Amino acid sequence: MESLTCFLNEALTIAFVIFFCLYFFLYKLKSKGIKLKSPPGPRPWPLLGNLHLLGNHPHQSLSALAKIYGSIMFLRLGSVPTVVVSSPAMAKEFLKAHDLVFASRPNCAVGKYICYNHRDVAFVPYGAYWRQMRKLCTVELLTVKRIESFRFVREEEVSAMIRCIWQESGHGAQCVDVRKRLSSLTQNITCRMFASRTYSDNELSGGHGFKEMAEEMTTVSGAFFIGDFIPSLDWLDLQGFRRRMLAVHKIFDRFAEKVIDEHVHRRLEKGEHNEEDRVKDIVDVMLDMAETEGQTISRVDIKAMILDMLIAGMETSVTLVEWAVSELLRNPATLARVQQEMECAVGRNRRIEESDVKKLDYLRCVVKETFRLHPPLPLLIPHESMEGCSIEGYFIPPKTRVYVNVWAIGRDENVWKDAHQFKPERFIGSNKDVRGQDFDLLPFGGGRRGCPGITMGLSVSELALAQLLHCFDWTVEGEVDMTEGFGITVPIKNSLFACPKWRLATEYPV
C-alpha cells in the first residue's frame, strides 16, 4: 500500500515536471516567435495603447519615437495595430516592394462622415470602386493633356491674385494675409477646373467661406479621432469631431448639389441651342460618363470626386507656397538668387508665364527644398495592410495602419546633410525628384496610392510662387513665425502677413 502511494506520488511529480517543462518550452517558443515578429515600439497602456504619445503634432512625436525605436516601429493606437515608417529604405519596402499589400485605407470616421461613406478616391479602402475612380482620375480628369487645357485658367487666376494683393495692400502701404490670397487663388483655379466658374463665399451655406470649410476639413481629417481607435468610445464623441465632420460635410454637400444642378441645367439648355464651345470641365466629363451605357457613376460619386479635388487641390498647394515664401523671407540670399534667376530668364518687363517656369531651375530647387522640410501631408494619408506581410524579418498583421513619416525622413541627418537648413542648392545638378521614385523625398507619397494630382499641384504651386516673387519684393514686421499648425496638411500656425513692393518695370496692376 505504502509503495503504491509512493509510486503514485512519484509518477505525479514526474508528470507535473514534464508538463511544466513542456508548457514552459512551448510558451517560450511562442513568445519568442512573437517577439521576433513584431517591430519594436513603446509599451502600450491598457485601453489607450500608445494614443497618449501622439500629442498635438503627431508627425513630430512619431519622429522623436522613431529615434528610440527605429525606422520601422510598432504602436498600438487604442486597439488598432499601427506601423510607423521613418526611413527611405523602409518607405521603399512599403510603397514599392509590398505596394499592393498596403494599398488600402483604414475604415475611418473621415471616410464615413465627410467622404460620403467612402465614395471618394482618397479615403476609400482598396477594391473595385477605388480602381474605377482612380482610373477616372488618371486617364480622364487629371491627365497631362487636361491639365494643359486649363493652363489659361491658372495664368489668369495667378495674375488676378497679384492684382488682388496689390489692391488689398493699398499699393504697398500695408501688409496682407498671404495665405488668404493663396487660398482664394487655389479655390478659383479648382472651381474653374471642375465647374468652369468661380464661386464666392456667399454662395456657400453655413456663413463660412471656402477657406474656412477647407481648413476645417483638413483639421478634422488630421485629428486622431478616438472612435476610430477605441470603438467602444465611439458613441461618446469626446472630442466633438463627429459633430464637426457632419457639419462641414453638410455645407460641402449643399455646394456640390448646386454645382451639379447648374451643370444639368446648362446641359438641358445646351441641348436646345447647341452653341456652347468651351473647354469641358470635370463635372461635364463625369456627367457624360454617367449618361453613357454601361457606366455606373452616380450623383454621390460625382460629389465625392468634387470633394477630393477641392480639398486636395486647395490646401496642399497653399500650404506649400506659404512655407516657401516664409523660408525665403528668412533666407534673403536665397531669395535674391531666385529673383536673379527670374531676371535673367524673363526680365522685368513682363509677367512670368507657365512656359517660363521650366527654365527656372533654381526656383524648382526651392520648391523641392520646401517639400523636403515642409511636406504638406507629413504622414501622407494612412495606408492599411490587406493581408499579413513580413518585412525585414518582422511580421505585419492584416489590417495594420501604416503611417509613412515623410516629415521625419526629410529632416533625418543620416539621410540629408545639414538636414535642418534650408538649402535649395543641394538639388542643383541632381535629378532627384518629388514624383515618388526617390524614397527620401516623398511629398506626394508613392506607389498605387500615390497622389494622382502631382502635375496639377506642381504647376499651380510653381507658377504662384514665381509670380509672387517676380512681381513683388516682400517685407515682414519682426521675425517670420515658422511654428507648425495642426491638420492632415500642416500649415504655418499663424498665417504669414507680409508687405508687398512692386518690382516690375511695367505698370502696377489695376
Ligand X SMILES: *[C@@H]1O[C@H](CO)[C@@H](O)[C@H](O)[C@H]1NC(C)=O
- Positions touching ligand X (CB under 6 A) are 157, 160-161, 164, 181, 184-185, 188, 198
Instruction: Identify the residue among 444, 465, 471, 474 touching ligand HEM (CB under 6 A).
Output: 444
Helices (H), 38-98: 58-69, 88-92
CB-nearer residue toward ligand HEM: 169 or 489: 489
> Pick from ligand X, ligand HEM, none: which does 181 bind, CB < 5 to 8 A by kind?
ligand X
User: Could you tell me how many helices (H) and strands (E) the chain has, helices first?
Assistant: 18, 9
User: Does the protein bind ligand HEM through residue 309 (CB under 6 A)?
Assistant: yes
- Residues between 108 and 167 that touch ligand HEM (CB under 6 A): 121-122, 134, 137, 142
CB-nearer residue toward ligand X: 41 or 491: 491
Distance of closest approach, residue 270 Cβ to ligand HEM, in angstroms: 25
Residue type, 224: F
Residue type, 437: Q
d(CA 334, CA 338): 6
The Cβ-side half-sphere exposure at 152, using a 13 Å CA radius, reads 4
Q: In what order do the strands lie in the sheet with 176-177?
A: 176-177, 497-502, 472-475
Distance of closest approach, residue 404 Cβ to ligand HEM, in angstroms: 7
* Residue tagged 451655406 (cell numbers): 205
Closest residue (Cβ) to ligand X?
160
Distance of closest approach, residue 129 Cβ to ligand X, in angstroms: 34
Scanning 415-423, 424-432, 450-458, 477-485 for contacts with ligand HEM by CB under 6 A, the matching segment is: 450-458
User: Does the protein bind ligand HEM through residue 317 (CB under 6 A)?
Assistant: yes
CB-nearer residue toward ligand X: 188 or 400: 188
* 373 and 416 Cβ atoms separated by less than 8 Å: no
**3-state percent breakdown (helix, strand, coil) of the chain, nearest 5:** 55, 10, 35
User: Does the protein bind ligand HEM through residue 286 (CB under 6 A)?
Assistant: no
Exposure class string for 124-158: b at 16+ Cβ within 10 A, else e = bbbeebbeebbebbeeebbeeebbeebeebbbebb
CB-nearer residue toward ligand HEM: 255 or 444: 444
> Pick from ligand X, ligand HEM, none: which does 335 bind, CB < 5 to 8 A by kind?
none
**CA dihedral in degrees (47, 51, 53, 59; nearest 10)?**
170
* Residue tagged 495692400 (cell numbers): 169
> Pick from ligand HEM, ligand X, none: which does 281 bind, CB < 5 to 8 A by kind?
none
Classify residue 172 by its DSSP letter. T
What residues contact 428, with CB distance under 8 A and at least 6 apart? Answer: 361, 362, 365
CB-nearer residue toward ligand HEM: 239 or 495: 495
CB-nearer residue toward ligand HEM: 44 or 378: 378
> Pick from ligand X, ligand HEM, none: which does 220 bind, CB < 5 to 8 A by kind?
none
Distance of closest approach, residue 174 Cβ to ligand HEM, in angstroms: 29
- Residues between 371 and 410 that touch ligand HEM (CB under 6 A): 376-377, 380-381
> Pick from ligand X, ligand HEM, none: which does 164 bind, CB < 5 to 8 A by kind?
ligand X
Distance of closest approach, residue 129 Cβ to ligand HEM, in angstroms: 11
- Residues between 175 and 214 that touch ligand HEM (CB under 6 A): none
Other beta carbons less than 10 A from residue 387's beta carbon: 13
Scanning 8-16, 29-37, 315-323, 392-400 for contacts with ligand HEM by CB under 6 A, the matching segment is: 315-323
Cell, residue 40: 519594436
Distance of closest approach, residue 157 Cβ to ligand X, in angstroms: 5
Which whole-number Å values give the CA distances from 75 to 21, 81, 84, 468, in the listed order? Answer: 33, 6, 8, 43
The Cβ-side half-sphere exposure at 349, using a 13 Å CA radius, reads 1
Residue type, 221: S
* 45 and 366 Cβ atoms separated by less than 8 Å: no
Chain contacts with ligand HEM (rule: CB under 6 A): 121-122, 134, 137, 142, 308-309, 312-313, 316-317, 320, 376-377, 380-381, 443-445, 449-453, 456-457, 461
